[in-house]
Structure formats: structure tokens, C-alpha cells
Amino acid sequence: MSEKKTVSIVGGSGYAGGEFLRLALGHPYLEVKQVTSRRYLGDPVSLVHPNLRGRTNLKFVDPAQLEPCDILVLSMPHGVAAKDIEKYRGLAPIILDLSADFRLKNLDLYKKYYGEDHPRPDLLNQWVYGNPELYREALQTANHIACCGCNATATLLGLYPLVKEGLLAAGPIFATLMISTSAAGAEPSLASHHPERSGSIRAYKPTGHRHTAEIRENLPGNPEVHLTAVATDRVRGILMTAQTFLREGLTEKDVWAAYRKVYGAEPFIRIVKLKKGIHRYPDPKGVEGTNYCDVGFELEEDTRRLVVISAIDNLVKGTAGHAIQSLNVRMGWPETTGLEFTGLHP
């Protein structure tokens, strides 16, 4: 068995940090050393994350009390990590950032979607985008991993084989994302207030979603992609549906061939397209709590319109799960380590 590596989590009282903590506590090669939170300083982590009762005796510490460790996970609001990155770089040789601070290489895209210049453009080339299905080889030697956004993950994994293999006709791709409440984070707001959110299906970002930048930058050839984000009252999960068109002369067999060629050996991608039953296409319910991304499609043959469907758990495959998966790749551990949970039904 490999020697355990120590890991500390900055911002462990949020949903993303808490999910990484949950997965790390069950990982055979990780030992959680410290978890920080100013708000819950001195409280047991199980006070905030009741699912961890009996799993750990860790208490939240002040970020100023962080000690050196092997791996440091940054789980803070956008913009915070970049401002203090030198301090964090001095604490651990390997850093995983769950925020958007270092995801983009294109400074123009960053300014367009985040409304400001990047604070540390000099460091961007030192970070590898944390999507193992796209960047497995680069992750093998990456000491700084910028974990991708949940909506970007769902969209990229649905579209990547089709774009990579050149199946799509020229023209824009339109994607709609049905997003759960936990994607907004643990901080309450009027929009997340139960009487406002319960039973609601609300288009909250019809245009200009920030994750559009990640998708455009990481799909081969930087195709034109447009997102519409719709808030639902599910606690976990994202359902992505993308509208695009196949090139003239291509058929459903070509679509199947592309997915099988690119994803045939992927441990966490499942192609879901059945001819019978009620679970014929991807559904977030089927991946809840797991690191799977289910991908499906439907071709309208007379128009060549292709509807691509993907489903993920936004906190696992969309955040902490692909962070663990990327770390497994980096450390040379089996890629599925700590991510074996298969989900529940019903």
C-alpha cells in the first residue's frame, strides 16, 4: 500500500470543501490533516457536515494556523485564492484549487466573463485544467490543478468526442443546463430562500454564464458555444442538453463510434441511450453521490439535429470528485480510488 499523503482543506465549511473532505476521509492514500473555517473556528467539522459524524474528530482551525502538508485544497469564493496564492504555494508542493481563479489561460475570456483583469496572469501556465478525460497526460506531472466548473464539466464531457472527431456541422452550439441548489454554494441568499426556490424552475442566467469561457477554451477548435442556465429546486445534480447538428452524410452509427473511441476506456463515463425502460437517457438522479458522468444523445435524422444529454452530480463529478480523480492521476494511484460509490436507486 502506498504511503499516505497529508491533505489540508482551506474553506472546509462550504459544500465543495465538505464534499472533498467526505471523499478524502474514505480515500486509502490520504490523511486529512487540517480543515479551516473562520466562521466555525474550533467547532467539530461534523457540526457543519452531519454526514461525517463518527467518521472524524477533526475541528475547524483558523487559516492562519495552517501547517505544511503534502497536498493543499483551496475551496474559497472566486478571487480569494489568487490574492494569497504565494502563501499557499509555500505550504504544499501540490495544490488543487476548486474555484475559477486559475482555470482560464485566455486573459481576454477571463476579463469578458469575470469583468476584471486576472490578478496573477504570470502564474496561469503553471496550472493544469482538472478534467482527467481531457488532460490526463498533463495531470500526471501537474503540481497545480485548477479544477473545472460543474456546468463546464457537464457540457464538455457531453460534447468533447463529437467536436474532437469532427462530427458537427459548422455553426453555434446551444446548451441548456438544469442546475441544483447546491451549485450556488452554502451562503444563503434571497434566490436560495426556500419559499422562493421550492417548486421553481427559473432561468437565472439566459446568457453570459461564466463557465462558457471554460467550454470554449477547452473544446478543440474553440467552437461557438452558448449556455442558458436554469435553476431548479433539486439539491444535487446538473442535466445538460445541447442542440447541435451533424455534418451532412453522418449517421447515428458515427455518433456511437465517436463516443466509443474517445470514452471506451474511461472509468467514469457511461453512455446511456436505451430503447426501452424509463431510464433511457441520462438523469441526475442516477448519478447522485457518484463520480459518474452519464452521456446520451438523440438524432433527428431528417434534419440532422443532434440533442446531446449529460448528467452529473455537481458536487462530485462537478467539483470534489474530479479533484480526487485528478489527484489520483497526479499521484499515480488507481484512478478510481476513493470514488467507487455507485449511487442509489430508487
pLDDT of residue 1: 55
Catalytic residue among 69, 148, 150, 293: 150
Find the helix or strand (DSSP H, E) in which 74 lies. strand 71-74
Q: What pLDDT does 323 receive?
A: 98
pTM of the entire structure?
0.96
Ordered alpha helix ranges (H), 127-281: 132-139, 150-164, 194-197, 211-218, 252-263
CB hemisphere CA count around 77 (13 angstroms): 6
Sequential pLDDT tens for the chain (346 residues): 568 999 999 999 999 999 999 999 999 999 999 999 999 999 999 999 999 999 999 999 999 999 999 999 999 999 999 999 999 999 999 999 999 999 999 999 999 999 999 999 999 999 999 999 999 999 999 999 999 999 999 999 999 999 999 999 999 999 999 999 999 888 888 888 889 999 999 999 999 999 999 999 999 999 999 999 999 999 999 999 999 999 999 999 999 999 999 999 999 999 999 999 999 999 999 999 999 999 999 999 999 999 999 999 999 999 999 999 999 999 999 999 999 999 999 9
The whole-number pLDDT of residue 60 equals 98
For this structure, is 150 an active site residue?
Answer: yes
Report CA-CA distances (Å) from 189 to 40, 282, 331.
Answer: 19, 30, 39
Alpha helices (H) in the chain, listed in sequence order: 15-25, 45-48, 80-83, 85-89, 107-114, 132-139, 150-164, 194-197, 211-218, 252-263, 321-331
pLDDT at 191: 86
Q: Specify the pLDDT at position 61.
A: 98
pLDDT, position 332: 97
